[in-house]
Amino acid sequence: MLIHLQQASLAFGHLPLFEDADLRIEAGERIALIGRNGSGKSSLLKVIAGELPPDSGVVWRGPALRVARLDQSAALDADAGSTVTVFDAVAAGLEATGTLVAEYHHAALDLAAAPDDERRLARVTTLQDQLEREDGWRIEQRVELVISRLGLPADRRVSELSGGWRRRVFLARALVSEPDVLLLDEPTNHLDIEAIAWLEELLAQYRGAVLFVTHDRAFLSALATRIVELDRGRLTSWPGSYSSYLEKKAAALESEARDLERLDKKLAGEEAWLRQGIKARRTRNEGRVRALFALRAERAARRGHVGDVRMGVDASEQSGRRVFEARHVDKAFGARVVIRDYSQRIMRGDRIGLIGPNGSGKSTLLKLLVGELEPDAGTIERGTRLQLAYFDQQREQLDPERTVADTVNDGNTTVIVNGQPKHVVGYLADFLFPRERAQSPVKSLSGGERNRLLLARLFARPANVLVLDEPTNDLDIETLELLEDLVGEFAGTVLLVSHDRVFLDRIVTSTLAFQGEGRVVEYVGGYADYVRQRRAELREVGGARREAGGETREAGGERREAGGARREAGGAGREAGGAGREAGGAAEGRVSGRRRLSYNEVRELDSLPAKIAGLEDEQKRLQEDVAGPEFYKRPAEEIAATLARLEAVGPELDVLLTRWMELEERR
Most confident residue range from 49-58, 91-100, 142-151, 640-649: 49-58
- Given this model, what pLDDT does residue 465 score? 92
Strands 493-497 and 226-231: unpaired
- Given this model, what pLDDT does residue 558 score? 46
Q: Strand order of the sheet with strand 388-391?
A: 388-391, 465-469, 493-497, 351-355, 510-514, 520-524
pLDDT band at 443 (very low <50, low <70, confident <90, very high): confident
Residues 657, 540 within the same domain: yes
* CA distances in angstroms from 329 to 163, 215, 219, 325, 377, listed in the order given: 30, 35, 35, 10, 5
Measuring CA to CA, which residue among 652, 656, 648, 650 is closest to residue 566? Answer: 656
pTM: 0.64
- Given this model, what pLDDT does residue 29 score? 92
DSSP run (H or E) holding 447? helix 447-459
- Given this model, what pLDDT does residue 33 score? 94
- Asked if the structure places residue 140 within a domain, the reply is no
36-45, 73-82, 507-516, 657-666, range with the lowest pLDDT: 73-82
Domain boundary among 474, 497, 524: 524
Helix pair 136-149, 118-133: axis angle to 10 deg: 100
Residues 507, 560 within the same domain: no
Tell me the mean pLDDT in the region 578-607: 52
Measuring CA to CA, which residue among 402, 383, 394, 416 is closest to residue 316? Answer: 416
**pLDDT tens for each residue of 95-104:** 777 888 888 8
The residue with greater pLDDT, 500 or 282, is 500
58-72, 435-449, 589-603, range with the lowest pLDDT: 589-603
- Given this model, what pLDDT does residue 491 score? 83
- Given this model, what pLDDT does residue 328 score? 95
Beta-bridge partners for 415: 422
- Asked if the structure places residue 542 within a domain, the reply is yes
pLDDT band at 643 (very low <50, low <70, confident <90, very high): confident
- Given this model, what pLDDT does residue 488 score? 82
Q: Percentage of the chain surpassing pLDDT 70?
A: 78
pLDDT beyond 50 at 37: yes
pLDDT beyond 60 at 578: no
Sequence-separated (6 or more) residues with CB below 8 Å from residue 112: 635, 636, 637
- Given this model, what pLDDT does residue 249 score? 80
pLDDT beyond 70 at 107: yes
Tell me the mean pLDDT in the region 59-88: 74
pLDDT beyond 80 at 172: yes
- Given this model, what pLDDT does residue 586 score? 37
If one counts every other C-beta atom within 10 angstroms of the C-beta of residue 345, the result is 12
CATH number of 570's domain: 1.10.287.380
- Given this model, what pLDDT does residue 125 score? 86
Domain boundary among 524, 549, 582: 524
pLDDT beyond 60 at 308: no
pLDDT beyond 50 at 6: yes
Tell me the mean pLDDT in the region 155-173: 81
- Asked if the structure places residue 36 within a domain, the reply is no
- Given this model, what pLDDT does residue 576 score? 38
Residues 344, 481 within the same domain: yes
- Given this model, what pLDDT does residue 585 score? 39
- Asked if the structure places residue 110 within a domain, the reply is no
- Structural domain including 374 reads 322-401+443-448+457-524
pLDDT beyond 70 at 365: yes
* CA distances in angstroms from 642 to 141, 454, 537, 621, listed in the order given: 13, 44, 28, 11
- Asked if the structure places residue 654 within a domain, the reply is yes
- Given this model, what pLDDT does residue 566 score? 39
- Given this model, what pLDDT does residue 292 score? 54
**pLDDT tens for each residue of 500-551:** 898 998 889 899 999 888 999 999 888 988 988 888 887 776 666 556 555 5
- Given this model, what pLDDT does residue 367 score? 93
- Given this model, what pLDDT does residue 14 score? 64
Measuring CA to CA, which residue among 108, 179, 161, 159 is closest to residue 137? Answer: 108
130-134, 445-449, 638-642, range with the lowest pLDDT: 445-449
d(CA 292, CA 474): 43
pLDDT beyond 50 at 394: yes
pLDDT band at 574 (very low <50, low <70, confident <90, very high): very low
Residues 502, 539 within the same domain: no
Residues 347, 494 within the same domain: yes
Most confident residue range from 246-255, 292-301, 591-600: 246-255
- Asked if the structure places residue 482 within a domain, the reply is yes
Pair 178, 204: CB distance under 8 Å: no
Residues 509, 655 within the same domain: no
pLDDT beyond 90 at 278: no
- Given this model, what pLDDT does residue 330 score? 95
d(CA 167, CA 184): 12
- Given this model, what pLDDT does residue 615 score? 86
Residues 351, 391 within the same domain: yes
CATH number of 381's domain: 3.40.50.300
Mean pLDDT value across the chain: 78
- Given this model, what pLDDT does residue 557 score? 47
328-337, 362-371, 478-487, range with the lowest pLDDT: 478-487
pLDDT band at 571 (very low <50, low <70, confident <90, very high): very low
The residue with greater pLDDT, 478 or 582, is 478
Residues 546, 510 within the same domain: no
Residues 462, 571 within the same domain: no
Residues 503, 604 within the same domain: no
pLDDT beyond 70 at 594: no
Pair 171, 198: CB distance under 8 Å: no
DSSP per residue, 30-98? EEEEE--TTSSHHHHHHHHHTSS--SEEEEEE-TT--EEEE-TT------TT---BHHHHHHGGGHHHH
- Given this model, what pLDDT does residue 160 score? 81
**pLDDT tens for each residue of 258-277:** 777 776 776 676 666 555 55
The residue with greater pLDDT, 10 or 538, is 10
- Number of structural domains in the chain: 2
Residues 366, 504 within the same domain: yes
- Given this model, what pLDDT does residue 312 score? 58
- Asked if the structure places residue 471 within a domain, the reply is yes
Residues 494, 575 within the same domain: no
Tell me the mean pLDDT in the region 21-26: 92
113-127, 476-490, 557-571, range with the lowest pLDDT: 557-571
pLDDT band at 178 (very low <50, low <70, confident <90, very high): confident
Tell me the mean pLDDT in the region 284-305: 55
Sequence-separated (6 or more) residues with CB below 8 Å from residue 666: 591, 594, 595, 596, 597
Domain boundary among 485, 500, 524: 524
- Given this model, what pLDDT does residue 380 score? 95
- Given this model, what pLDDT does residue 589 score? 36
Helix pair 559-576, 527-554: axis angle to 10 deg: 150
- Asked if the structure places residue 83 within a domain, the reply is no
